[in-house]
Structure 1
Amino acid sequence: MPQSYIKRILDARVYDVAIETPVDAVPLLSKRLKNTVLLKREDLQPVFSFKLRGAYNKMIKLSQEELDRGVVAASAGNHAQGLALSAMRLGVKATIVMPKTTPQIKINAVRARGGKVVLHGDTYDEASAFAKKLVEEKGMVYVHPYDDPDVIAGQGTVGMEILRQVTGPLDAVFVPVGGGGLAAGVAAYIKYVRPEVKVIAVEPEDAACLKLAMEKQRRAILPEVGIFADGVAVGQIGKETFRVLRKTIDGVITATTDEICAAIKDIFDDTRSIAEPAGALALAGLKKYVEENGCEGQTLLAIDSGANTNFDRLRYISERTEIGEQREAILSVTIPEKAGSFKKFCSALGKRNITEFNYRFSDQHDAQIFVGVAVAEGGADRLELVDSLEKQGYSVLDMTDNEMATLHIRHMVGGHRPAVVKNELLYRFQFPERPGALMNFLTKLGNRWNISLFHYRNHGAAYGRVLVALEASKAERKEIEPFLDKLAYRYSEESDNEAYNLFLS
C-alpha cells in the first residue's frame, strides 16, 4: 500500500548530495491566472534535476559487495547525472546507457562526473534493454531510474519538503510524469499527510503512458514516444509506480509541445531561469487545469523538475512559444496587387505588432501574403482580428492551428520570380525595431516602385531586417540608390547574391 512509503521517505538519505530546494512564488503568472502559483525549484539541485535524490538513496542502501561490482543504469540524462555524482561521491564505477537522442549537455555532464557513457537506441526503453543486457554479461548492479522502492522514496522527499514549506492553503500539486518515480513518491506522501490536497500528474501529449494505463486499468506500451520532453520520454509506466499512482493521484493532464514551450517562457519571465521541456511540463499542466476548470483564488504548485537542455533548442522553443500561448495569429490574407496595398493593410491592423510578413509576386490582380500578428492571449482577440479584417474587405484564412503552416510553409513562402516581373532588384534593409517600425519603413519607401518580394520577421532583436525586391526599369535604376540613401536605413543590394539567383530570381 502507498502508506508503506511514508517511513521510507522519512528515512531516505538524500541530503548528503542533494539540497532542500525552495518553493518560489511566480507573481506575473499568478496575476495572469488569478491564482497563487508556486514553483518547487528542483532545477536548482547540483545536477539541475530532482533525480539525484532517488539515485543516491538507492545507492546508499546497496551492500559493499554490490557497490564493488559497479552500477549501471539507463537514462535520458537526469538520472544519469544523479547516479554519476552519487557514484563519484561513494567511489563507485558507474556506466550509463543513454539514448542517442539525449541532449549533448546531459552527456557531457555525466562524463564530467566520472560516469562512463554508452549511447544506444533512440528511446529510453531501447537504452534500458541494453543496460539490462550489461547486467547479465558483466554482473553490474542495475539502478532503475524510477521503478524501485528506494528510488521512489528518494524522490518522495520532494513531497515532504513541499508540505513543510507550504503550511498554508494548498489546493493542488502538479507533478511531471515519465516513468512515474517522482509522481509516485510525491503522491504517496502528500495524500497520506494532507489528503485534501489534489495531486495531478502531467504528461506530454505524445508520451502519455500513465494516461494510457489509467484508461486501460493496466500497464500498456505506447506504439511510439515523442522525444521533445526527453526527460519524460517513456513508453510504459513503471510497474511499482503504477501500483502507487492508481491509488493516489487525482487526475492526469496532457500538454502539447507548444504548451510546454509557453510554460518554459512563463518560468523564465518570473524566475529568469530556463527549464528543460520536462522541467516545465508540470506548469503547462497547471495552466491547462486552470483553463479547463475556471478556478480562481486557489493555491497551485508545480514542480520545476529540471534545467538540462541544449542551448540550441531555445531557437525552436522560442518559435513555438507565441503559438503555445496563443499570442500570435498566423494568417493568409489576399490583398490587391497594386502599389500601396502593403501600407493600407498595415493600417488596417491598427496598432497591432506585426511579427512576420512574407510575400512573393504571383499575378497582376491579387497578392497572397503570409502574416504573423501579435494578439492577446486566449484566442478571442485573434477571432476579433480576423473579423475586423474581413469587415474591411480582406479575404482571410486563419492558419494559426495549421501545423504544416507554422512548421514549414512560413519558411517557404516565396519562389522564383514570375516571368511577368521584369528588372527586379533585391535589397536588404536594417532598421531600429520598435512599435510601428515596419509601417514607418513602408511609409518612407512609398509607392514609387512596385514591390515584388517582401520578407520580414520580428525575432525580438534590436534591429528589424527586411528583404525587398523592387521592380525598376533600366532608366530608373540610377534613381533608386540616391532615394534609398535618403531613407536613412542601413541597406545593401543583394541582386547578385547566389542564394537569390538560385531560389528566388
Structure 2
Amino acid sequence: MVNVNLEDVKKAKEVLKSIVKETPLQESKTLSDRIGANVYYKCENLQKTGSFKIRGACNKIANLTDEEKSHGVIASSAGNHAQGVALGAKMTGIKSTIVMPETAPLAKVTATKGYGAEVVLNGLVYDDAYAKAVEIQKETGATFLHPFNDKYVIAGQGTIGLEIFEQLDGKVDTILCPVGGGGIIAGIAIAAKGLNPNVKIIGVQTDNIPSMKESKVNGKVTTAFKGATIADGIAVKTPGDTTFDIINELVDEIITVSEEEIARGILFLMEYQKVVAEGAGAVTTAALLSGKYKPQQGENLVCVISGGNIDVNTFYRIIGTGLAAEGRRYSFSATMTDKPGGFLELISIISKSDANILNANQTRLSSGGAIGKQVAEFIVETFDHDHIERLKDEMNAAGFEIQDLK
C-alpha cells in the first residue's frame, strides 16, 4: 500500500522552494544520435551538496516536531544523505551525527564534517552504518532520519519528477533513475505516474548489489550483495519496505550494469557531456551505452544524474578503467628473445601502429626463469578495440609472445 502521493510531493516542493536549486535539464546530442532517442540529463550533481539527497533530508527536517529537533538528529549514509542532513541540520540550528561506511569516499566524509556534523565511520556498506546509527540512537535519544524508507524523504526526492515535467512541458516518455534503497526512484515514480500514468520508470542498479531488482523479482524485500561497487551511493544490500511497495507498484523495470560499464558511463559524461558524475550518477548512462536498456526511436528519455561527489583519486582510477573498456588504453606483456635490438624492434612496431606508449617496464628474465628470454610490460594509448587487435597481430607476427594484462 503506497502511503505517499502526488500531493505530498507538491507540498514538499513548497517546503523546499527556498532551500534547493532547480537543477538544469541538459540535452545530450551525442548520446541521442547514438541510440536514436532524445536523451536529456537531469543534473542533480549540480544540486547543493552535490546530490539530490538534500531534497529529502530537508523536507524531513522541516516536518520534525520541536521535541524531535531538541534531541538532535542522527542518520546513516554512504555519503550524500549525510551531507544533506548535515546541511539541513545546520540551517535549522540542530545537532547532527552521521554514521558512514568506512569505504565512503574521503570527499564525502570531509564535506559532511564541513557542514558541522559529527561523523562516525563503521562497516563496509550502508547497512553496516545503519546498524551502528540505530545503536547510537538508542544511547543518545537523537531523532533518526532514514535516508530512503521515509514518507517525507520520498516526497522530497519526488520533487525531481515535478521539475522534469515542467522543464520538458510534460513531454516525458521514459525516466531512467539510479536505485539503491529506492528513495529517489520511488519519489520520482509517484510524481511522474501521478502526472502521466503512461510514463515508463526504469531503475538501474549495479550487478554487484542488485537488491531492489531481486526484491521485485521475488515479490518481497530481498537482501543481495555480490561484491563492492564504485557506485557507493547505491550500495544498499537491503532496500526499504516502504520504497519496495512503491517501486513494486509503479516502476516498470529494474536493470543492472557492471562495474566496467559504470566506469564507461563516468568517462562518457565527463568527455562528451562535460559533467562530473559519481558512480551512482552514471549508472543510467551505463544502461544506455551498454544496450541494457533499448529505447524506442524518437522517445523523450530523461537520465537522472543523482550526484557528482566522487573522490579525485577514485575518479582517476575509474577513468583508467573506462579508457580500457573503450579500447583506448591497452596493457600487455611481451616475451622476446634476449638479443640486441629485440626491445627496439618491439617499440618500433608499437610506434608504427600509431599507439602511444604511456609506460614501459623491461625485465631481464621471464617470470618462469627461461634462459635467453626477457619480458617487457607496456601500457599504451590506442584508438579502439580494433586498433588493439591489429597491434597484437603485428607483434605476434614478429615473434613476440603477447599476454593481455588487467
Q: TM-score range by the shorter chain?
A: 0.7 to 0.9
Q: Which of 17, 26, 29 does residue 27 from structure 1 map onto?
A: 29
Seq. identity, %: 33
CA–CA distance in structure 1, aligned partners of residues 212 and 361 of structure 2: 42
Q: Which residue of 2 aligns with 1:370?
A: 377
1:359 paired residue number: 362
* Residues 275 and 308, structure 1, Cα contact 8 Å, conserved in 2: yes
Aligned residue type for 2:228: G
**What secondary structure is seen at the aligned counterpart in 2 of 1:92?**
coil
For the 8 Å contact 2:260–2:321, the answer to whether it is kept is yes
Q: 2:246 aligns with which of 244, 263, 274?
A: 244
| Mapping 1:453-492, distance limit 5 Å | none
**CA distance change for structure 1 residues 388 and 191 in 2, over 3 Å: closer, same or farther?**
farther
Deviation at 1:60, TM superposition (A): 1.2
Report the AA paired with residue 350 of structure 1.
S
- 1:262 corresponds to which of 254, 261, 264: 264
Between the two proteins, the alignment pairs up a number of residues equal to 398
Structure 2 counterparts to residues 365-404 of structure 1, below 5 A = 365-377=372-384, 379-387=385-393, 389-390=395-396, 392-394=397-399, 397=402, 399=404
Partners of 2:262 and 2:279 within 8 A in 1: yes
Look up the match of 1:73.
75
Letter in 2 for 1:237: P
SS in 2 for 1:218: coil
Residue segments in structure 1 that go unaligned for 5+ positions in a row: 400-404, 407-505
Deviation sequence 1:292-315 (CA, Å, 0-9, x none): 648665443221111222222233
Cα shift at 1:74? 0.8
**1:286 Cα deviation from its structure 2 partner:** 2.8
Q: Name whichever of 102-111 and 232-241 sits farther off.
A: 102-111
Which residue is 1:415 aligned to? none
CA distance in 2, matches of 1:51, 1:351: 46
Task: Say whether 1:127 aligns with 2:129.
Answer: yes
2:137 partner amino acid: V
CA distance in 1, matches of 2:39, 2:296: 12
Q: Give the conservation status (yes or no) of the 8 Å contact 2:29–2:39.
A: yes
Matches within 5 A, 1:91-170: 91-167=93-169, 170=172
Which runs of 5 or more structure 2 residues have no equivalent in the other structure? none
Q: CA 1:351–1:383 in structure 2 vs 1: closer, same or farther (change >3 Å)?
A: closer
- Aligned partner of 1:230 in structure 2 is 232
State the 1:288 CA deviation: 2.1
Shift of 1:396: 5.5
Determine if contact 1:386/1:396 at 8 Å carries over to the other structure. Answer: no
Match of 1:180 in 2: 182
Check whether the contact 2:210–2:225 (CA below 8 A) recurs between aligned residues: no
Post-superposition Cα deviations, 1:335-368, rounded to whole Å, max 9, x if no partner, equal 4443344444443652233444443232565544
Comparing 274-283 with 333-342, greater Cα deviation is found at 333-342
Change (3 A) 1:114 1:298: same
- Decide whether aligned partners of structure 1 residues 230 and 365 sit closer, same or farther in structure 2, where only a CA change above 3 A counts: same
Question: What are the within-5 Å matches in structure 2 for residues 334-345 of structure 1?
Answer: 334-345=335-346
Shift of 1:140: 1.8
- Paired with 2:394 and 2:174, the residues of 1 have a C-alpha distance of 40
Aligned AA (1:9)? V
Secondary structure of 2:362's match? strand
Structure with more contact order per residue of length (Cα contacts < 8 Å, sep ≥ 6): 2
1:361-392 CA distance string (max 9 Å, x none): 32565544434444445x455445545555x3
| Secondary structure of 2:202 counterpart | strand
**1:219 maps to what in 2?**
221
Within 5 A, what are the aligned runs for 1:388-427?
389-390=395-396, 392-394=397-399, 397=402, 399=404, 405-406=405-406
Q: CA deviation at 1:18?
A: 0.8
Instruction: State how far apart, in whole Å, the 1-side matches of 2:296 and 2:306 are.
Output: 24
Larger Cα-atom Rg? 1
List per-residue Cα deviations over 1:453-498 (Å, max 9, x = no partner): xxxxxxxxxxxxxxxxxxxxxxxxxxxxxxxxxxxxxxxxxxxxxx
SS of 2:290's partner is: helix
